[in-house]
Structure formats: structure tokens, C-alpha cells
A and B are shown apart, each in its own frame.
Chain A
Amino acid sequence: MSLPPHVARFTGGIHPMDGKGLSNGIPARTAPLLEKYLVPLHQNIGAPPKLTVTKGELVKKGQRIAEPGGFVSVPLHAPTSGTVGNLTEVPGVAGNTLQAVEILSDGKDEWGSGLDPIVPWQEADRKVLKQRVADGGIIGMGGAAFPAHVKLSPPPEKTIDTLIVNGAECEPYLTADHRLMLERTEAVLEGAAIAARILDVDRIFVGIEENKPDAVEAMKKAAGAFGIQIVPLPVRYPQGAEKQLIFAITGRAVATGGLPMDVGCVVQNAGTCAAIRDAVVEGHPLIERYTTVTGTPVVHPGTWIFRVGTPVKEALKLAGGVREQPAKLILGGPMMGFAQSSMDVTVTKNTSGILLLAGGETGRYLSSPCIRCGRCVSVCPMRLLPGPISVMVECENYALAEHNFVMDCMECGACTFVCPAKRPLVQHFRRAKAEINAIRRARKKH
């Protein structure tokens, strides 16, 4: 065990109103069983899973209903026991349309995942554990939805010496990881220990923002048994961004275009760790998650344990509905989440929050030309020049934008948050990244 690390301060960052008080004191409640779940097939980054069940087939809770579509893909599991219904379509989070399969509950909620618990996992083979993570359908539950087993499979030439568990939860309003770390402390820590065993590392850190003192306390109490260090982090958005978290805890900076594994680190979300533990110790695949339903228009904000495939409408009903007409529905947090145009979206494996904003909390902005105040530059955690890059994108000079490292932008939204000219900077960068990726793909083909 190394000494407690010195917490480094990353460049930039902002302090948005956190809004966590709405829901952070309320224990998570398990959502009652629904009659029907709509499970979108493509919830992960990478290849979409292939459906293996047909309409009318009987499935058990946790039974595999879709095979992974490649290495960077995960299987899907039935959220409850019942029959397979129609193959329909639901709106995706990013405004796209996703294929979804209906699972009609039989009310018995019987387990039948076909995965045996691996106990004691301390003696199990690493490959077996890694395969279990893949079989559990586990993806990054902080929002990125990257398959967890891929992150746990670094190429042999990279030496990994540190596992970092991301419990920062720097997004305003969200309290799902907070409640998870309070209520399932041991599960998070045990999952982290399993992930560390898969990676063969003994340096494990859990980074938690200081605005969750009760979670820090609870985790500290239990961490000793697992040889894990808890690192309280200063409250600053985006403290929970992968590269910023690594820098804060280890002092190592990931080079441009690089990955955490280049500096010997692997970062997993706290929720992902708990899911890894459930898959290994209980044999339960990822079919439910902690999700915060919050916002001032919500009658009873709080954190819920939802099955994957729960329609957002039902989720809001559980939270007592709304007390006033909301102006905006966001899946995820207000900084990096996606505003929705339809209430038909469903809770997926990476839905960390369902946020409603009232009319006064959001508005229509008219953007104006950059006044070169430089505020975006001072808050950018990646040390980019958001203002100038946005002008390059406006002029469609993608080569220049690429030269100015637009691809390093993680779309945290800090620049857009502070921009006095209300410029939609992140949208510019997202477009630039899409265009540059298209150019790169075209170049590869030739």
C-alpha cells in the first residue's frame, strides 16, 4: 500500500449550483414491478447486441435475451420473468430511434440468469472473472456506456498499476452514486476489489467529492478490509471526468489523444463496481440501477432502483408526478445530459438521472459573437481554447480545429456554462468531432 495520495488540482473547472439537496437525503427505493418493460437493444458504445429471443418466448429474470455483437459489445438480460413481446422502437437519448424489445412481466419475478456465483472470487481465475463481467452485460454506468470488460482488458504492452473508482458524481442534481455508496458500500468496494484482481493491481483508490461527507465516512469505515483508499476530492465540476480524476488522485496527466491506460490507470464508476460484484458474487447480470429522479417540478424527488427498460413516464409517476408543467426533460445531469423531445424514452443501463427543469430554470438563449473575454479558456479542464475553436468550426475549418485539439474536448460544457455571449460552444465542438471523425474514416478507406 502506498501512502495517501496528494490531491492535485486540475486546471479550470466551474462551480454550478449543485441542486443535490433535493434528493441526497432520501434513501433509495426499489421501484415496484411493472407490467411491461421496454428494453432498448443498443445501450452500449460499440456494436449493438443481437436479439436471440422471439415473440411469445418465456424468459426468466436475468436470462440472456441478446448476444453481444462483437468484442466491444455486451449481452442483454431480461429485467424480469415473463414473456417476450413485440419488437418496437423507442426514442434514444440522443434523438435517434432505437429498437427495443418488450418484456411482459408474469409477476413472479423469478431469477434464471444461468450464471453461478463465483465464490470465493479471490481464488478464481482472472479470465473467468473477466468473462463474468462480459457475461453480466456491464457497461460504464456513469453515462459513457462503454463495456466494462473492454476497459478491464488492457493490451499486454500497457502496464496498469492503479484502479480508480469514480465516486465523484460532479454532475449537479445527481445523487445516484451518492446513495449507492452509502447504501451498498460493501458492494462497491468488493466490486472494485474484483476489478483490481482482474487487472492484477493492488493500488485502488475511490475518489469522492467532499460534498458527500457521509459517503466518504461510510466508505472509509469499510475500505480498510479491502485495502482500498478513499480520496476526498475538492468540489469542482468536472472532477469526475476520467482524465481530471486520474490527475487529481495520481498526479499523472493523460497526453492528448491518449487513454487512461497510457498512464497505468483504469477508471470504473462506483455503479459499475457494484454491478461487477453482483455479477460475480450473486450471479446477477446488470438489470437494474440507481437512478435519481429530480428537479424542482418533481413532487417527490429521490433516488430509485429501476429495472433497465422502465419507461421514464412510469419513473416520473413513482416520484409522485409533477407539481408544475416542466419546461425540459433531461436524461443524465444538466451539464452533460441530453434534453429529450419525447416522454417515451426508457431507463437504460447508463441513465444516471431523470431531471426535470421548470420554466424559470431554463430558457431560450440568443447567442452573439465571441467577445474574447477568455472565460472559456480559463475554465476549460482540457486547457483548450473553446472560443477560438468555435470560430474555426463556424468557418468550417476543421483541419485548424483539429490542430487546436478539438478532439480532446470531452464536452463537459464548462465553457458554454460561463460564456457571457451564450455561444453554443459544445455544439460546435460536437459537430467538429463528428466531421473530423468522418474525414478520418474516409481517409482510412482510401
Chain B
Amino acid sequence: MSTTFLAAVCVVGIIGLILGCLIAFTAKKFDVEADPKVEKVRELLPGANCGGCGFAGCADLADAIVNRGINPSRCTAISAEALKDLSAFLGVAAEEKEKMTAVVFCGGSLSRAARKAQYNGIMDCRSANVAGGGGKACAYGCIGYGCCARACPFGAIEMRDGLAVVHPEVCRGCGKCVTVCPRNLIRLVPASVKIHVYCSSADKPAARRKVCSAACISCGKCIRADGQGRVEKQENGTVRINCENPPDISLAETAGCPTGALQTEEAHRAIRPISPKETQK
């Protein structure tokens, strides 16, 4: 009995020893030398692999920073403290860069936008876009099935009342949402601009009003109230804040936008469902 037991232990033990030696040998023989500096830089990067830098993920950027002299500020997602640590480790000064944030240029929440159909399909904007464009009547607005929210590696986009709303304090400006939106509603703008015209419809103004109570009707009130070219009408008829020379956020009140398309970022984020009575007004 005990001999069987001993034999088994010995056999397994010897096999283990041989295999262990083999592993130790191959590990030494085929060792790939990794630059410990690259490893460390990769650890200091956010690790979200968002691709906002233009490289194929954080490891690729870490390699580029160490071996190709790319400035660490190329990382769009990195926080200020982490960037400080990283530049201290590398011994290079991080370039000053304006913080960008994503903005969804649409205010058509479910309670504001008219509906054209009951959509019964895949709850993804890009899938809805190939099948009639979802349930909302506006052909330019937010479809509202949240493919940008799912694409965001940082969870900065929230679906509120059927509308994608960006939280700028969470958003790192990587631009992943910009590429997935089938309606091209999302753009990266300087985070310091806190007032926007939340409408992208290129329809005729009357048609926009018909499908959405929060539509910009291109009345030009805000352009006149500003009077300094800081709010501009674009070629397709939509109105945009000039992000290089933005007006003060008080313009949201002084302009008296009739539909509320011109809003401060904070007011836009505080979307609440409007009661049907209010919508009828």
C-alpha cells in the first residue's frame, strides 16, 4: 500500500521536476526583453485603450512615448495628476493642451421630440439608422438608443429621457463617441465653452419646429443679442457657438431663445421630462 503511494509521489514528482526545468530553460532561452520604462509608462497611462491619442491603445502609446519621443500629453484621457506623475517620471514637461469635451448637439429628449413610429427592433442607434431611423420624427436628431453611451470607455454619457447627455467632468475627450454616432451629432469642443445651441437639424426651420419643441428655428435672436459674431449661422442653416471666441453664458438668458435650443451646458444637462400640458403650449 505504502509502496504504491510512494511510487506515485515519486513519478509525479520527477515528471514535475523535469517539466519545471524545461519551463525554466525555455523562459530563459526565449525571453522577450521588455523595456521596464515602457512598462512603467503603460502603468501610469489610464489603461482605457480608448484610442483618443491616435495609437492602437495604451501600450502602443507608451512605446511611442518612450522610444519615439511623443509627448505624454498626447494622451487625451489622462487626468492632470497622472500627467504630472508621468512627466516627472519621464523628465519631460507635458505640453499645455486645452481640455476637450464631447457635446451632443441635440436637445430632442423624448418629451420634446415628436414621434413618428413605434420602433420595434435592435436598440442600437446604428441598427435603427438602417431601418427607418428609430422612433423619433426628426431625421437629424439623437436617435436615443445609446450607442455613444455604450461606446464611452469612461461612462461619461448618460441617456436621459431618450437623449444622450455628456457629463463634462467625466468626459476625457477621447472622441470615441464621435465616431459611433450615425447622425454625426457629437463633436469635441473646448471644455471651457459652457453654452451651446443644442440642435443639428438641417431641415427647413418650420419643419424642425414641427418635429421637435426644442429645435433651433434659426430665428437669429441669439446672433442679434450677441452682436459680435460669437454665435454663427452655418451653411446648412444651423446655428453654432463660435468655440474659439465663445460668448458669456449669460447669453442664454439675454438672448431669449424661443425654443430653448440655446442653453448653458448645465441647464441642458438638467433635462427633465416635460408634462404633456407644457408640450401643448
List residues of A whose CB falls within 8 A of some B CB: 94-97, 338-339, 341-342, 364-365, 367, 424, 427-428, 430-431, 434-435
Q: Other CB < 8 Å A-B pairs besides A341-B117, A427-B131, 20 of them?
A: A94-B132, A95-B133, A96-B139, A341-B116, A341-B132, A341-B137, A342-B116, A364-B118, A367-B122, A424-B121, A424-B122, A424-B127, A427-B121, A427-B122, A427-B127, A428-B122, A430-B131, A431-B122, A431-B126, A434-B130
> B120 within 8 Å of A by Cβ?
yes
List residues of chain A with CB within 8 A of the CB of B116: 341-342
List residues of B whose CB falls within 8 A of some A CB: 116-118, 120-122, 126-127, 130-133, 137, 139
Q: How many whole Å from B146's CB to the nearest CB in chain A?
A: 15
**Given A427-B121, A428-B122, A97 and B139 contact (CB-CB distance below 8 Å):** yes
List residues of chain A with CB within 8 A of the CB of B132: 94-95, 338-339, 341
List residues of chain A with CB within 8 A of the CB of B127: 424, 427-428, 431
List residues of chain B with CB within 8 A of the CB of A95: 131-133
List residues of chain B with CB within 8 A of the CB of A96: 139
**Given A94-B132, A427-B127, A364 and B121 contact (CB-CB distance below 8 Å):** no
Q: Please, which residue of chain A has its CB at the minimum distance from the CB of B115?
A: A341
Q: Please, which residue of chain A has its CB at the minimum distance from the CB of B124?
A: A431
List residues of chain A with CB within 8 A of the CB of B118: 364
**Given A338-B132, A427-B130, A364 and B122 contact (CB-CB distance below 8 Å):** no
List residues of chain A with CB within 8 A of the CB of B130: 427, 430-431, 434
Which of B121, B130, B133, B137 has the most chain A CB atoms inside 10 A of its CB?
Answer: B130
List residues of chain B with CB within 8 A of the CB of A364: 118, 120
Q: Please, which residue of chain B has its CB at the minimum distance from the CB of A429?
A: B130
CA A251 to CA B139, docked complex, whole Å: 45
> Can you list 29 A-B contacts (CB < 8 A)?
A94-B132, A95-B131, A95-B133, A96-B139, A338-B132, A339-B117, A339-B132, A341-B116, A341-B117, A341-B137, A342-B116, A364-B118, A364-B120, A365-B120, A367-B122, A424-B127, A427-B121, A427-B122, A427-B127, A427-B130, A427-B131, A428-B122, A428-B127, A431-B122, A431-B126, A431-B127, A431-B130, A434-B130, A435-B126
Q: Please, which residue of chain A has its CB at the minimum distance from the CB of B180?
A: A396
Q: How many whole Å from B189's CB to the nearest CB in chain A?
A: 26
Which of B121, B132, B139 has the most chain A CB atoms inside 10 A of its CB?
Answer: B132
Q: How many whole Å from A386's CB to the nearest CB in chain B?
A: 14
CA A241 to CA B255, docked complex, whole Å: 59
List residues of chain A with CB within 8 A of the CB of B137: 341
CA A431 to CA B133, docked complex, whole Å: 12
Q: How many whole Å from A83's CB to the nearest CB in chain B?
A: 24
CA A365 to CA B117, docked complex, whole Å: 15
CA A367 to CA B127, docked complex, whole Å: 14
List residues of chain B with CB within 8 A of the CB of A427: 121-122, 127, 130-131
List residues of chain B with CB within 8 A of the CB of A430: 130-131
CA A301 to CA B126, docked complex, whole Å: 37
Q: How many whole Å from B203's CB to the nearest CB in chain A?
A: 9
List residues of chain A with CB within 8 A of the CB of B131: 95, 427, 430
List residues of chain A with CB within 8 A of the CB of B122: 367, 424, 427-428, 431
List residues of chain B with CB within 8 A of the CB of A431: 122, 126-127, 130
Q: How many whole Å from A341's CB to the nearest CB in chain B?
A: 4
CA A95 to CA B130, docked complex, whole Å: 9
Q: Please, which residue of chain A has its CB at the minimum distance from the CB of B133?
A: A95
List residues of chain A with CB within 8 A of the CB of B117: 339, 341
Q: How many whole Å from B209's CB to the nearest CB in chain A?
A: 16
CA A367 to CA B18, docked complex, whole Å: 54
CA A430 to CA B120, docked complex, whole Å: 15
Leading 10 A-B pairs by shortest Cβ distance: A95-B132, A341-B117, A341-B116, A431-B127, A430-B130, A364-B120, A431-B130, A424-B121, A95-B133, A434-B130
List residues of chain B with CB within 8 A of the CB of A424: 121-122, 127
